[in-house]
Amino acid sequence: MSDAWIADALEETWGTIYYLIETFPEELFDWPTPCPGWSIRDIVCHLLGWERYYNEGFVPDTKSVSGDFIKNELGVLNQGFILSMQSLPARQLPGLFGIETARSLVRLRDMKPEGYDQIVTTPLGESATYRFRMETRIFDSWIHMQDLRDAMLRPEDDHTVAEEVVIAHFEATLPSVIKGATELQGGELIRINLSGRLARSMTFRCLPEGAVPVEYSSEQPLLELTTPVSMFWRRCAGRISAEAFLGESSTKVLGNVGVALALANGLATTR
């Protein structure tokens, strides 16, 4: 399969982000977003910082980084990128974002398959293929695009390849989430149904070795949770609380409420 889809997905997502920030009043760039601790300006600087890293190897100084919302080393690095550009006038940010993302797209479209196969190491020492790193850029950029939409009161469905990347990522985390959150080991079934364009039904059997995906079973699950795709990813990304997730009228819980709350608490695997 060609890797051209990676650049296509990023171009589509970044194009929407550029439109959002280029058409939003500069004096409102410090409005908060659903991303904990970050404003509209912070998100743009964060995205800019990572593209500068991949384009030219830029790594920020993190000595003065602080904040209650910072949970790990990645959070420190992300905040460092933000601080490195936080003093720039808001009017400059759309242009800089356009320049850096255009540089990234040229690099990606010129890259051969072996380039995507190469192992690269982040400033935190984490190694993976370049392809995986760029898929992570799709994941990160799409979620932050939605953060900007929500903060700017411009909600809109974006049914794109990037959305599929995000949902597939969170779906893949479910076995470990279920195991860590519920500690069930007696063969109980948990079913999670997503409604919407990317609708799916996922059933897991809880065994001593972990939560194992199974074909749909007629056996009554201990818990069946049904929610829209948009609520699912927002909870997984930590954009809404477990209580708000379960309390939303579009989220339906059948079965053990205690397990439902434990699972909802465990779903947030990223910020």
Give Cα 258 distance to the centre of its chain. Answer: 27
Is residue 262 helix, strand or coil?
Answer: helix
Q: Going along the chain, which residue ranges are E strands?
A: 119-121, 127-129, 189-195, 200-207, 210-214, 223-228, 252-255
Q: What is the pLDDT of residue 271?
A: 56
Ramachandran angles phi, psi of 18, nearest 5° = -60, -45
Q: Six-digit token pair at 234? A: 């927002």
Q: What is the pLDDT of residue 118?
A: 96
Q: What is the pLDDT of residue 76?
A: 86
Q: What is the pLDDT of residue 64?
A: 76
Q: How far apart are CA 247 and CA 175, in angstroms?
A: 23
What's domain 166-266's superfamily in CATH?
SCP2 sterol-binding domain (3.30.1050.10)
Q: Six-digit token pair at 135? A: 């898929």
Q: ∠ at Cα 8 (46, 145), nearest 5°?
A: 35
Q: What is the pLDDT of residue 209?
A: 94
Q: What is the pLDDT of residue 72?
A: 81
Q: What is the pLDDT of residue 122?
A: 87
At the topology level, CATH places domain 4-158 in Four Helix Bundle (Hemerythrin (Met), subunit A) (1.20.120)
Residue 266: is it exposed, middle or buried by C-beta count within 10 angstroms (0-12/13-18/19+)? Answer: buried
Q: What is the pLDDT of residue 108?
A: 97
Q: ∠ at Cα 57 (55, 63), nearest 5°?
A: 130
Q: What is the pLDDT of residue 152?
A: 97
Q: What is the pLDDT of residue 78?
A: 86
Q: What is the pLDDT of residue 74?
A: 83
Q: What is the pLDDT of residue 1?
A: 64
Domain ranges of the chain: 4-158, 166-266
Q: What is the pLDDT of residue 204?
A: 97
Model confidence, pTM = 0.93
| Tens place of pLDDT per residue across the chain (271 aa) | 689 999 999 999 999 999 999 999 999 999 999 999 999 999 999 999 999 999 999 888 777 777 777 778 887 888 889 988 988 999 999 999 999 999 999 999 999 999 999 999 988 888 999 999 999 999 999 999 999 999 999 988 778 999 999 999 999 999 999 999 998 999 999 999 999 999 999 999 999 999 999 987 889 999 999 999 999 999 999 999 999 999 999 999 999 999 999 999 999 987 5
Which H or E run includes 199?
none
- Within 10 angstroms of residue 182's Cβ, the number of other Cβ atoms is 22
Buried b (16+ CB within 10 A) or exposed e, 107-122: ebeebeeeebeeeeeb
